[in-house]
Structure 1
């Protein structure tokens, strides 16, 4: 069968089923591009309805470079062609395959399939992090990809070298089952235009459930796979609420992710004739209502001021941040269950319980019907399989009874993962759970990156805890010098931070393993399995490396976990992640003398600089994060206690006598730092928060009193004096104790 005839048959079946079909064209690049033109002509695809993703130029169709594939999100095409010869990545595949409409075609242009896994391209170069080279990168992911292409239904394969159709991709199916039509509820509160805009029954049900946001104390959760119209339903609801005069605050990991929501809100306000002002991130209605966007870290600060908050792609945000949105009068969480945006497991497993314990009346709805194509679409199921978009941990029953004694520690090779789909799915499912944002490229790194390795605990053959390790450091002098001069060296996060930002010229010489991610199955959390896994890693690695390290968005809970396992703070980032609002902490556990030297000099430097940073760039960091980061820093506090006789008299006078803290803050800051770096003189948590907020972060008295729930600024001041009496008693020398006697 000729290529044109094969494409015509594919296109006919795709249209009849309202599904998509996938055509793989492999061989030489020029021949593949020519074949793609032949295929698009045979499929009768308009130039305006197709996008070609390629690094080549000069085509009649809409063209994007594969690295800009994200621009296709939220768009609809009759055909998409992905040129995999250059800039190919799993992300580009995952981001573009959902753009094809029902009845359409997705074309993948690739080198000869037998040879493709062993070819090297730009993405392989990105996996070759120093000191590794591209020769160390493996081809397990592409072998997996080729295998799925040759096995999965609905995938046609054409060999341009032999001018031969290897697979026709036909499934022999006729018209799809009829999906229920959207409906308008008889007692609807939102405008009829909102329901008239719905494309499926699921979508109209979603809009109706969002009507509950009109009442304070309501929370609505909309979950769906990609392409089900959940963001559009949220947008129709947002526009309806604004038309009533309500202030709707929208947040998402990035504004691009909320564009579909804004488009539908704009259309609704326009249809109702109440659109007064149309800005990129703010819509105003003549009724006084608004739909406005803020990044998550800023949105949580204003959640209580809005009438309604809508969080789009909620699964791509950390649970700690999601919890802060529960302060809103009414809130909706809209999230993708599977997909490159984040697999949603952290949301569905961790956050769901917190949501149900909240004061909100919770409504949950899952959308099943695709908007662009019919159910059972083989291209969607192939993408899920090939990219592990639906990876999930073992079922709860399979891991019941797992504990640190029964669990088996094992190093899991990439070859084992590639050859065992069950093991790969459970391990990757837990890694997805560990991080609020996971991409298909992460699967490629797990299978092919030479610097990554996996450790796991298993129970009855099921993965219950997993850690992903990255080898870092061990760089030659030339690379270290370039890093010191500002060059970015991929895959060496801790050496890069310590060298380029913190000016430790030799930080990239020792070799370390960074724990990139660690996760334990939700059914057996809080059983000590994460610590057991780290213990196994430490025992196995021994003196193989100089140190173990980790970097993460700092929360009090995580700082306590890593401190319990022997990791110590050497850095707290002065900028926060825009999406999560967290400041990253870097912690080390030294192994060899070289690791001890690396730790000691950076812990000492952290102690030396953080005091000034806390009243400047770190002024907004949560007090418990500051407490946790300092308490986990193993730096000598003695230099901070080297106060002059005059400074000790000032401190004693303010704590035991009539002196004033505000008159000379420096010695108070030094003592506060010494206390928080030391376990000898424990204070209650509120007193330590008072030290952080007032003394180290220099917050106004009234603000500190309000935040820490003192009845007045006077009580707040007296409590600070009491805290310093304790510190004087613990740390004060002869001069301080003699001065104290004056007031006793």
Structure 2
């Protein structure tokens, strides 16, 4: 029965060049036996060599179980399938059902192929807790606190969507099996089968006057790919940019790889980046194939580099670097290709605009991260840049037909195509007319439109939103979601995580090095900053906050935060209350200002840049209690604000020497601990002499550092004279970071080193006025009196 069900689904898939899903629900051991029956049925031919056929079949098994034939992957390692296709993929969902693995396995199934899901009985499955659920049970919560709403919804999609066959398996063998759905799509296949059936496709021809080799266009499979490769030709000339957008499976990475290879064959140095090398693997595979096509007549190919580099015989090359590394444009590449650009933050993308020529390739709907910051904010920045921009979109699927029901099912089940309300639906929404509401998981599960709009806003706000995040939203006991709704549409959303409140034993283990899931701020403060008591107060961390892009700048985000503060912070002693609010994010000047204005204060700035965002991460805290009042949250902030201040005084000339000055200013401005300015008389003589007389900065660098730290923390508070932006950057770069005077003068636009140092003295004049003792002011009079 299972063999017949699988064979029927596979034949229909092949006839339409679509894919099908076969769900084998029930006992796990029986499921594996049935999976092998299904594989044998769909890969068999007239030969009797069944075992040989099984070994040759294009099959991957994603499972926690050991000892299987074919190619095996662990569920959390299913990303190894990215960029690869299989005739059959078997995903074991018993021990851990990882939503990300579902998306990756779907993407690995070729047209005419079969995705086999091994699941518990579908009626019982939502109530079963597994290893993925255990990852959602962050302390102090336990696995019994995790719900099964995501699986409820997932099972509903399996039972209602076309192209999905379901067999209920009996533990005692085939006699207990029953077919719930055959997965056939019905009469439509009789009408479209002939036209959809796979046939040798006519290769698209190379366009006239093409600059790339003919072999580059012979490698293209669709007209869309030809148009994309032709657009990439412009990268041979500085001042050009290309944006290639496509849904998954349209061949944009292949087109980028063909273009990268063609550019390298012409002698260009092509730098490729993506969130991880696996995302760029297809680019390198296509480039290498083109090398082999075009260099097969050469006597000897160029010596290869490492796995992340390809060398062409003519001196060109294709090389990979992580986004943070590539943004520095190492070794001055001729062209840069950024794959999966939507999975990178806008600020990092902007750094690639310094390249001679650049291409941004992005998946419109995908599970690697589909942040719409690229399409909404970065595209505007790109249009304003010096580049001549060519846009190309790839719509034609390469590996399966457009009518493929599995693509539509995966988009629905994993919300790969979730998006905010259309602009017209929220245009004119008034801030005071928006309603604050709880997005309870049961409400989201019951209202698909509400779920799609809320999750779509989270996707739009963050450069890395995955199907696993959808499961967390619906099932994780430590998470809460809140929103502002105007005229029935979600216009702002916040995803919040409860942290802390941990018992003494857990705090001890954390202090001694054990990682505790889901408690990011307590973990950093405890394990890195050595505060064993930091995980005792209860915190509420903002994981993500998003405002509809059509309403940005109108106060919706600030209003939503105010509502959250009012709901959770009225009384820290209540069961729903917290002791402090917190946030962690890639620090930029704009975000630092936003969170400071919302009452958050800096307690940490990471020493290294995040590989994906390219930013140093900031952690900020807002106590529930009012300033000056005692309480667990205020005590936590007080002691960590002081240690942050003292750490930065020394660390800015060491681990933080390369942090952007505006980020340093923003982080210090949000520090709640004032910096002491109790200089000795000798130190004041040096400062006053360098500011008003013939003295030199080098005579007392520590005194200058203390005054700079105080001035940047205090800003213009209590003073009629504030430093301008360039003066603040000067204090950061020269005084706190200790950069050489020559590089500071060059970076800040001073005409000479001498002019830079004179400007430094001038910058200290108002600081002498603000912080100077009577002795310092008397010393100043020696140089200012007539």
Q: What TM-score does the superposition give when structure 2 sets the normalisation length?
A: 0.93
Give distance in 1, aligned partners of 2:489 and 2:233. 43
Deviation at 1:559, TM superposition (A): 0.2
Contact 1:410 1:455 in 2 (8 A): yes
Which residue is equivalent to 1:635? 673
Q: Is the 8 A contact 2:692 2:780 kept in 1?
A: yes
Asked if 1:108 is matched to 2:108, the reply is no
Alpha-carbon displacement from aligned partner over 1:657-686 (angstroms, at most 9, x marks no partner)? 112112331111111001011033420000
Structure 2 residue 321 is the aligned partner of structure 1 residue 313? no
- Equivalent position of 2:402 in the other structure: 375
Describe how 1:130-169 pairs up with structure 2 within 5 A.
130-161=139-170, 162-169=176-183
Contact residue 18 and residue 176 of structure 1 kept, 8 A: no
Rounded Cα–Cα distance in structure 1 between residues aligned with 2:114 and 2:591:
46
Secondary structure of the corresponding residue to residue 43 of structure 2: coil
The farther-off stretch of 168-177 and 625-634 is: 168-177
Q: Paired residue for 2:14?
A: 15
Residue 656 of structure 2, aligned match among 608, 618, 639: 618
Residue matched to 1:575 = 608
Alignment: residue pair count: 741
Task: Verify the 8 A CA contact 1:705 1:713 in the aligned structure 2.
Answer: yes
Say if 1:27 and 1:111, in contact at 8 Å, map to a contact too: yes
**Which residue, 152, 175, 186 being the options, matches 2:194?**
175
Shift of 1:115: 0.2
Contact kept, 8 Å, 1:303 with 1:328, in 2: the verdict is: no
1:411 positional shift: 1.4
Asked whether the equivalents of residues 182 and 203 of structure 1 are also in contact (C-alpha less than 8 Å), the reply is no
Aligned mate of 1:195, from 210, 213, 217: 217
Q: Confirm or deny: 8 A CA contact 2:203 2:220 kept in the other structure.
A: no
Alignment match of 2:597 (pick from 537, 561, 564): 564
Higher mean displacement: 642-651 or 107-116:
642-651
* Counterpart secondary structure, 1:340: coil
2:371–2:465 CA contact under 8 A, matched in 1: no
Partner in structure 1 of residue 704 of structure 2: 668
1:522-537 equivalence runs, <5 A: 522-537=549-564
Q: CA deviation digits over 1:166-185, x for unaligned, max 9?
A: 11101131134488852210
Q: 2:302 aligns with which of 273, 276, 285?
A: 276
Q: Distance in 2 between matches of 1:548 and 1:512?
A: 5
Matching residue of 1:686: 726
**Does the 8 Å CA contact 1:18/1:175 hold for their aligned counterparts?**
no
Task: Tell me, in whole angstroms, the C-alpha distance in 1 between the residues paired with 2:649 and 2:292.
Answer: 53
Which residue is 2:51 aligned to?
none
The Cα offsets for residues 67-97 of structure 1, whole Å up to 9 and x where unpaired, read as 2111111111110000111132001111111
Moved more, 212-221 or 41-50: 41-50
Q: Residues 595 and 369 of structure 1: is their aligned pair in 2 closer, same or farther, counting only changes over 3 Å?
A: same
Q: Which runs of 5+ in 2 are unaligned?
A: 45-53, 171-175, 572-576, 626-630
Query: What is the alpha-carbon distance in structure 1 between the residues aligned to residue 89 and residue 109 of structure 2?
Result: 7
Counterpart CA distance in 2 for 1:376 and 1:293 is 35
Inter-partner Cα distance in structure 1 for 2:764 and 2:167: 78
Give 3-state SS (helix, strand or coil) of 2:291's partner: helix
* Cα deviation, residue 112, structure 1: 0.4
Q: Does 1:727 align with 2:770?
A: no
**1:579 Cα deviation from its structure 2 partner:** 2.0
1:96 and 2:105 matched: yes
Deviations 1:189-228 (A, max 9, x none): 1000001111111111111111111222111001111221
Which residue of structure 1 lines up, in the alignment, with residue 38 of structure 2? Answer: 39
Per the TM alignment, residue 636 of structure 1 is displaced from its structure 2 partner at its CA by 2.1
| CA distance in structure 2 between the partners assigned to 1:609 and 1:600 by the alignment | 14
What displacement does 1:540 show? 1.5
Tell me the secondary structure at the aligned position of residue 303 of structure 2. Answer: strand
C-alpha distance after superposition, 1:22-72 (max 9, x if no partner): 000011011111000110111126433101111212222221221211111
Deviation at 1:476, TM superposition (A): 0.7
1:501 aligned to 2:528? yes
Q: Which position in structure 2 is the counterpart of 1:68?
A: 77
Superposition deviation, residue 742 in structure 1: 1.8
Provide the residue aligned with 2:574 in structure 1. none
8 Å contact kept, 2:105–2:115: no
Question: What's the TM-score, normalizing by structure 1?
Answer: 0.98
Q: Report the Cα distance in structure 2 between the residues aligned to 1:191 and 1:182, rounded to whole angstroms.
A: 14
Could you report, residue by residue, the CA deviation over 1:569-619 in whole angstroms, capped at 9, with x for unpaired residues? 111111110122111111111013211111111111111111111000011
In the aligned structure 2, how far is the partner of 1:661 from the partner of 1:487?
A: 46
Deviations 1:525-569 (A, max 9, x none): 111110011111111222211111101000000000001111111
Q: Equivalences for 1:368-517 in 2 at 5 Å? A: 368-517=395-544
The structure 1 residue matched to 2:778, chosen from 725, 729, 738, is 738
Q: 1:607 aligns with which of 632, 645, 670?
A: 645
CA-CA distance at 1:270 after TM superposition: 2.4
Q: Secondary structure at the match of 2:318?
A: strand
Alpha-carbon distance between aligned partners in 2 of 1:437 and 1:87, rounded to the nearest angstrom = 22
1:429 Cα deviation (Å)? 0.4
- The answer to whether the 8 Å contact 1:571/1:606 transfers is yes
Q: Is the 8 A contact 2:371 2:462 kept in 1?
A: no
> Separation in 2 of the partners of 1:110 and 1:523?
42
SS at match of 1:10: helix
Distance across 2 between alignment mates of 1:208 and 1:510:
59
Partner Cα separation in structure 1 for residue 424 and residue 608 of structure 2: 42
Pairwise CA distance, 1:303: 6.8
> Is 2:108 aligned against 1:80?
no
In structure 2, C-alpha distance between the alignment counterparts of 1:81 and 1:396, rounded to whole Å: 41
Q: Retained in 1: the 8 A contact 2:692–2:783?
A: yes
Q: Distance in 2 between matches of 1:175 and 1:335?
A: 33
Q: Is the 8 A contact 1:188 1:208 kept in 2?
A: yes
What is the match of residue 135 of structure 2?
A: 126
The answer (yes or no) to whether the contact 2:479–2:497 under 8 Å persists in 1 is: yes
Mark the CA change 1:270 to 1:180 in structure 2 (over 3 Å): closer, same or farther: closer
Tell me, in whole angstroms, the C-alpha distance in 2 between the residues paired with 1:270 and 1:255: 21
Q: Which runs of 5+ in 1 are unaligned?
A: none
Quick one: distance in 1 between partners of 2:746 and 2:427?
Answer: 45
